[in-house]
Amino acid sequence: MYRVCGMATSGNCYKVQLALEQLGTPYLWEEVDIMTGITRQPAYLARNPNGRVPLLEHHPGHFLAESNAILCYVADGTPFWPDERLLKAEVLQWMFFEQYSHEPYVAVARFICKFLPADHPRRAELPKVRERAHEALAVMERHLGQNRYFVGNEYSIADIALYAYTHAAEEGGVALAGYPATTAWIERVEAQPRFVPMVPMP
Ligand SMILES: N[C@@H](CCC(=O)N[C@@H](CS)C(=O)NCC(=O)O)C(=O)O
């Protein structure tokens, strides 16, 4: 059975949880608190040299890192990652967008606001990070104004990857009020069979 090393309040980890729940794939969850520095200890680095969660133990002693790579692995052969060549690449297109243009801003704004102390020097980054977060949301809004889901009008791992931090954007002070198509898409994602919400921040 799969074992996921993850922190439940991390959007990157929640992507894996949501996909496995919706696919009905059994798994074990090992909660890892990144704030303790455990992911940078030698024992963890032996499993993931990049020292981050999520991490999937797909076969005993064999690990796969990077949330979106894990989504591709667990969704392979299911309707969540279509077989057709172009659709498959379009799913990847949005997942790369998520990692390069979206997560570094939408997730980082939330991380600074929710995980770091109120007087942390990284708070100074917030205005720029939020500006870039809004640029990413504007890209999504344009696409979702014309499409029900990101690819082929079917729910896929591209939606899971982008939902994880988008729905929690306001926790980073990134308001969703100006994005009606994105807000409607969030509601469609939440209406999917076997949807589970992300564990709320304490
Ligand atoms: N690109 C990676 C990012 C993973 C990542 O940044 N994970 C954070 C939690 S959301 C982490 O493990 N941070 C611990 C650290 O940097 O020490 C992915 O999508 O899995």
CA-to-CA distance for 29 and 175, rounded, in angstroms?
Answer: 31
Overall size of the chain counted in residues: 202
Provide the pLDDT for residue 201.
84
Closest ligand 1 atom to Cα of 40: 17
pLDDT attached to residue 79: 96
Strand order across the 2-6 sheet: 27-31, 2-6, 55-59, 62-65
- Does residue 54 line the site of ligand 1, with CB under 6 A? yes
Q: Which residues of the chain have pLDDT under 70?
A: none
| In contact, 165 and 107? CB cutoff 8 Å | yes
Return all residues near 187 (Cβ < 8 A) that are at least 6 apart.
none
- pLDDT of the residue at 202: 77
Question: Are 13 and 54 a contacting pair, CB within 8 Å?
Answer: yes
Which among 111, 77, 88 has a CA at the least distance from the CA of 158?
Answer: 88
pTM: 0.98
State how beta strands 2-6 and 27-31 pair.
Answer: parallel
Evaluate: CB of 40 within 6 angstroms of ligand 1. yes
Looking at ligand 1, which atom is closest to the CA of residue 107?
10
Q: How far apart are the first and last CA of the chain?
A: 29
CB of 114 closer than 6 angstroms to any ligand 1 atom:
no
